[in-house]
A and B are shown apart, each in its own frame.
Chain A
Amino acid sequence: MRAAVLSLALVLAGGSAIAAAPGGMARVGPGSFRPVYAPDSSTSVLDVRAFDLARVPVTNGEFLVFVRSHPEWRRDRVALVFADDGYLRHWAGPLELGPAIEADQPVTHVSWFAAKAYCAAQGQRLPTEAEWELAAAAGDTSADGSAEAGVRERILAWYSRPARARLAAIGQGTANYWGVYDLNALVWEWVLDFNGTLVSGDSRSGASADRMQFCGAGALAAGDKQDYASFMRLAFRGSLEARYTTSALGFRCARDAAP
């Protein structure tokens, strides 16, 4: 992961890339993008209203503060409906990160319910899939990164690398066009409507094979085989349940743009 971030910084040749970790929210959109999973055959472009997105993912340190003030989200107390047994398993204790975990690493081993509760406690919410994908579709200098040389290759390089045991700190790369960091090179991230993905065409259940074919057809119709990263995220979200936690899945918060 560190190598990925490093190469990212080198490619961008940005002298300011290694700075103090950024915080706060960036205004993203309005904009549109071509989803790999079209909601129906007549829709190839999704419009997204302007919204605010956290510049960086939530860190272990921030999540620890939340758990301290919301003990129902301690790993030894969280309801079984809300999180599986892997929840915050990487921490040394229910209220202790331990020496192996850095406060400024993105928090992982968090369920959708936990991520949602964290954002709600900040007066915020999780970004929708469309919002997240719009933000992640940007390049360094424009809202549509597919038109920029090297952006897709850089993104795919991360997806082709094995997940590392040790995650880099947040905000070490360079912000994209919207001023957002780490969307494509650190961890997978929860979205509010993760359970709207691959609806009823879940490949494991074998149900409604026609829907699955429809999804595939939609992706092909988009004619965008380059966007393999989006398709990977789609497949990953489709495999998730709200209580699942993994070592490479974190989140960031969003909020509606003030009118």
Chain B
Amino acid sequence: MRSRLLAVCAACLLSLSGVTAARAQHTHSTVPAAAPARIQSLYVLSAALVDQDGRPVGLDLFRGYPVVISMFYATCPGACPLLIADIQRIEAELSPRERANLRVVLVSLDPERDTPEALQALARARGLDESRWRLLRAPDDTVREIAAALGIKYRRLPDGSFNHSSVITLLDRSGAMQGRLDGIGKLHADLLRRLRAAAASPP
């Protein structure tokens, strides 16, 4: 038993180091220099979503801007309001000019109930700047893939609510993941620094 547990732990460690390595310059010692570089962008996910105005969009709707992306659901009683508040707190730390460059994408975990109307009602109730914030609905399979790519775990409970982890991810202008905040209420300086750097200059 111990051996398999160790294998599990080793898998975590290896994978974590893999992520670190991927964040650094990606190199392949066995691949000729002429090989095409592996795509780093999250936008390689081909996803057909709809925003809170009912407009069809891709996940890359804000390509060219630094983006803060996370997942939530509108009827969430606990963590999601805090998640939105966290992103608003992050925004509040930015200068007006930096803030104007930043975009926010929130993808619903609950496409069944989070219609564009429900998402728009939430956006208005929370006073979100809808010129920069998009609340998106996607088919179940797309939701699963986006969550997987962002490292978000979720499960629909029998009562229709969701258990989910709160992960806030920073994407650069090309959609490459530049930083990740696990859990709510944990605004950290490192992510903020990366964010300011990403949002410092206009697209």
Binding site for B on A (CB under 8 A): 39-40, 42-43, 76-82, 84-86, 112-113, 116, 159-163, 192-193, 195-200, 202, 204-205, 207-208, 211, 228, 232, 235-236, 238-246, 248-249
Contacts and interface: CB of A to CB of B under 8 A. Distances in A.
Given A86-B14, A199-B155, A244-B15, A80 B26 contact: yes
A221 B166 CA distance: 27
A78 B31 CA distance: 13
Given A200-B165, A204-B12, A85 B153 contact: no
A205 B183 contact: yes
A76 B31 contact: yes
B153 A202 contact: yes
Interface stretch (B37-45, B125-133, B191-199): B37-45
A14 to B, nearest CB: 26
B173 interface: no
Contact of A192 (B11, B144, B159, B164): B144
A77 B155 contact: no
Interface of B: 1, 3-5, 7-9, 11-12, 14-15, 18-19, 21-22, 26, 28, 31, 35-36, 38-42, 44-45, 79, 144-145, 147-149, 151-155, 157-159, 163-166, 177, 182-183
Given A198-B153, A211-B163, A78 B38 contact: yes
Identify whether the interface residues of B are mostly helix, strand, loop, or mixed: mixed
A16 B79 CA distance: 55
A235 B9 CA distance: 10
A202 B163 CA distance: 12
A160 B45 contact: no
Given A39-B157, A84-B22, A113-B148, A77 B11 contact: no
A236 B10 CA distance: 11
A246 B3 CA distance: 15
A159 B1 CA distance: 6
Nearest to B175: A81
Contacts of B144: 192-193, 195
B36 A77 contact: yes
The residue in A42, A235, A236 that gathers the most chain B C-beta atoms within 10 A of its C-beta is: A236
Of all A-B residue pairs in the complex, the 9 with the closest CB atoms, nearest first, are A242-B148, A199-B163, A196-B155, A162-B3, A79-B39, A207-B183, A84-B18, A79-B44, A244-B15
B149 A242 contact: yes
Main DSSP-derived SS at the A contact region: loop
A79 B154 contact: no
A235 B8 CA distance: 9
B154 A195 contact: yes
A161 B3 contact: yes
B11 A80 contact: no
B31 A159 contact: no
Contacts of B149: 81, 113, 242-243
B3 A163 contact: yes
A235 B11 CA distance: 12
B16 to A, nearest CB: 9
A246 B6 CA distance: 13
Given A205-B165, A241-B15, A244-B15, A39 B38 contact: no
A204 B14 CA distance: 15
A195 B4 contact: no
Contacts of A39: 155, 157-158
Nearest to B151: A241
Contacts of A249: 11
A82 B21 CA distance: 15
A122 to B, nearest CB: 16
A79 B153 contact: no
B4 A244 contact: no
B38 A77 contact: yes
Nearest to B177: A81
A21 to B, nearest CB: 25
Contact of A239 (B12, B154, B155, B183): B12
Contacts of B44: 79, 81-82
A195 B182 contact: no
A196 B162 CA distance: 10
Nearest to A120: B141
30 contacts: A39-B155, A40-B158, A79-B40, A80-B26, A80-B39, A81-B42, A84-B22, A85-B21, A86-B15, A86-B18, A113-B149, A159-B1, A162-B4, A163-B4, A192-B144, A195-B144, A200-B153, A200-B163, A200-B164, A202-B165, A205-B183, A207-B166, A232-B1, A239-B8, A239-B11, A240-B11, A241-B15, A244-B15, A246-B7, A248-B7
